[in-house]
A and B are shown apart, each in its own frame.
Chain A
Amino acid sequence: GAVVSQHPSWVICKSGTSVKIECRSLDFQATTMFWYRQFPKQSLMLMATSNEGSKATYEQGVEKDKFLINHASLTLSTLTVTSAHPEDSSFYICSAKGTDTQYFGPGTRLTVL
């Protein structure tokens, strides 16, 4: 099956700093990628839909200026958590849309101190 990678797999940062997470489709092109966040023992919540070459579409309640998404190429989408705070600590997962399904990255665990 198709492979999606995320980098880094985990990151610890200080409050107030910005963190960038990369999502790459390794063996296919993805015009659409999705970003999710998952709190412990909870489900995945869709944050935004990332479209190559255009602005991301954010879900209700997700701050655009807080979570910057850039889908600069057909194989790369990035999520930047700006001015991170401890409440932003979470598991962030991206996925790339295939024909019928979506292929998930392994996730990035963000801890903000």
Chain B
Amino acid sequence: SQQGEEDPQALSIQEGENATMNCSYKTSINNLQWYRQNSGRGLVHLILIRSNEREKHSGRLRVTLDTSKKSSSLLITASRAADTASYFCATAAGPTGTYKYIFGTGTRLKVLA
């Protein structure tokens, strides 16, 4: 089952521009995480935001979480060609210690040099 839906499904921008991806989910969560996946490779953890947090930053990444709207956004500033990848949100839900992680549909980002 898929907990989250992301939009846009695909995004193409010029190097130096900002990229914003959105994730919506269905049920209450413990935390939400963003991952990056290069084509045919494993996942790289980018950032975790807990349900009681509203915003987090990590380098060029900014993540927001709105639990009332059940949505999150990932902003990549000053994008680079190397940022080209698929980005997924994953929500952790369930009793503490028994989380299971469900992934969103993903956004394929292409940054043009």
Contacts and interface: CB of A to CB of B under 8 A. Distances in A.
A1 B101 CA distance: 19
Given A97-B99, A100-B31, A100-B48, A43 B104 contact: yes
Interface string B38-53: 0011110100101000
A44 B42 contact: no
A93 B43 contact: yes
Contacts of B58: none
Contacts, number: 52
A61 to B, nearest CB: 8
Contact of A49 (B48, B100, B103): B100
B41 A107 contact: yes
Given A43-B88, A44-B103, A60-B1, A101 B42 contact: no
A46 interface: yes
B62 to A, nearest CB: 19
A106 B41 contact: yes
A67 interface: no
Interface residues of B, number: 23
Given A46-B100, A100-B48, A101-B33, A59 B43 contact: no
B88 A44 contact: yes
24 contacts: A32-B98, A34-B100, A36-B103, A42-B106, A43-B103, A44-B43, A44-B103, A45-B2, A49-B100, A59-B1, A91-B40, A95-B43, A95-B101, A100-B31, A100-B48, A100-B50, A101-B33, A101-B45, A101-B48, A102-B45, A104-B42, A104-B43, A104-B45, A105-B42
B108 to A, nearest CB: 8
A43 B42 contact: no
A28 to B, nearest CB: 15
A106 B98 CA distance: 23
Interface in A29-60: 32, 34, 36, 41-46, 49, 59-60
